[in-house]
Amino acid sequence: MLILYVRYLAGRPVDEIRCIAQTRRRHRCTSPVLAPEACGGRWILMPVAAEVGQLALPAEAMAVYHLAALSYAEQLRWRSQRCPQHAATPTAADLAMADWERFDPLLHSEHIHARLPTLRRRGGPADHPHRGMRA
């Protein structure tokens, strides 16, 4: 996941990242951060070794879920891990920690995928090409 030029590893697949805000009923919000009405990012390939210099790494390129086409506000929303409704409600408390980790190519090598997730045609059950893959 690339947010504001920093690579993070999400705690779960992109389409399963849930809003961390507390609802009025004091439960954690169940809305996804990848809201159906908002446009998400897209998968790109970028060099694994961008931050590690000359180390030999298992793959040279890796798939990264890239949010750079989104507005600054939308990228902040992703980083704060909130759905669009709660991004607009700053008074709602967070019920959980955002589960981003700074991506480390050595520690997280099992999450390095040299290929983009397979793109499928719209309308099918696999409409979300990023399903199941942590970014």
Q: Which residues bind Zn ion (CB under 5 A)?
A: 19, 21, 29, 31, 83, 86
The minimum distance between CB 29 and Zn ion, in angstroms, equals 3
Report the relative pairing of strands 42-47 and 6-10 from DSSP bridges.
unpaired
Nearer to Zn ion, 57 or 94 (CB): 94
Nearer to Zn ion, 73 or 106 (CB): 73
The minimum distance between CB 102 and Zn ion, in angstroms, equals 24
The minimum distance between CB 31 and Zn ion, in angstroms, equals 4
**Distance in angstroms (rounded) separating the CA atoms of residues 54 and 36:** 40
Q: How far is CA 125 from CA 36, 122, 135, in A?
A: 15, 9, 20
The minimum distance between CB 10 and Zn ion, in angstroms, equals 17
For residue 17, which amino acid is it?
Answer: I
Nearer to Zn ion, 91 or 118 (CB): 91
Residue from 107, 110, 2, 133 nearest 55 by CA: 107
**Distance in angstroms (rounded) separating the CA atoms of residues 20 and 29:** 6
